[in-house]
Chain A
Amino acid sequence: AQTVTQSQPEMSVQEAETVTLSCTYDTSESDYYLFWYKQPPSRQMILVIRQEAYKQQNATENRFSVNFQKAAKSFSLKISDSQLGDAAMYFCAYKTGNSKLTFGKGITLSVRP
C-alpha cells in the first residue's frame, strides 16, 4: 500500500526567511502524482503545487518549489520569502491515475513576524 510520511509535526520560520517541509512516500508504481496542499485556519484545502513523477524538472509556483528525488522517494516543499499568510497546516499527498489521494499526517507551519 502507498504511504506518505511527514515526520515533523511542527515547524517555525522567521518572516522573509526560507523553510523546507519534508515528505517521503512509499510506492511500487512508476507513474504517479505528488501534491502539497495548504490548509489555513479557514480549513479550506488549497493546492500549492503538484509534481508528475515522470517529469524530472522540479515544479515551481512563485515562492513555492519542490525538491523531487524519485529514487529516494522524497518530495520536499521549499517556501521562500516566508509571509505571515503562509502560516497553515501543510499536507503532502500522493495519487496514481484515478486512484484516491493518500495524505500525510500534515505539518503545522508557524511564521514569526
Chain B
Amino acid sequence: GAVVSQHPSWVICKSGTSVKIECRSLDFQATTMFWYRQFPKQSLMLMATSNEGSKATYEQGVEKDKFLINHASLTLSTLTVTSAHPEDSSFYICSARRPSARNEQFFGPGTRLTVL
C-alpha cells in the first residue's frame, strides 16, 4: 500500500502558540488530503478536505481561522493550529487520496497535540 507520513508524531506547546503539522504522501501524488481529529475512544471527525492549489473545504463547526490548512504541493498538506488552547489538545490524523479507479485513501500515523 501507499505510505503517508505525518510530522511531528507528538508535540507539546504552550497555550497561545501556533503549531504546524505536516502530512506527506511519500510514494504517490495526492490531489486531495483530509484532516481528522480524534478524541480518545471516539471516532474520527473530519475537519476539512484539502485540495492541491485551492482553498480547503471545512466541515461545519470547524473554525477555518483557527485551523489553517495549506496544500501547496501534490505531496504535502499542512495543518496549523493557531493560538492553541488546551481544548485543542487531541489526536490529529491526515489521509491522502491516491488517484485511481478505486480512489483509495491512505492514513498517516497521526499527531498527538498537547497544549499546556
Contacts and interface: CB of A to CB of B under 8 A. Distances in A.
A15 to B, nearest CB: 23
A56 to B, nearest CB: 18
B44 A103 contact: yes
B30 to A, nearest CB: 13
Given A43-B91, A45-B93, A100-B34, A105 B46 contact: no
A100 B43 contact: no
Contacts of A101: 34, 46, 105
Interface string A33-62: 000000000111111000000000000000
Interface in B85-115: 91, 93, 95, 97, 103-105, 107, 109-110
A77 interface: no
Contact of B43 (A46, A97, A104): A104
A100 to B, nearest CB: 6
Contacts of B1: 47
Contacts of A45: 44, 93, 95, 107
Q: For this complex, into which size category does the number of interface residues on chain A fall?
A: 10 to 19
B42 to A, nearest CB: 7
A23 to B, nearest CB: 12
A44 B43 contact: no
Nearest to B59: A100
A98 B100 CA distance: 11
B49 interface: yes
Nearest to A4: B43
A42 B109 contact: yes
A53 B32 CA distance: 23
B42 A106 contact: yes
Interface string A89-112: 101000001101101111010000
14 contacts: A43-B38, A43-B93, A43-B109, A43-B110, A44-B109, A45-B93, A89-B41, A91-B44, A98-B97, A100-B34, A100-B49, A101-B105, A104-B43, A106-B43
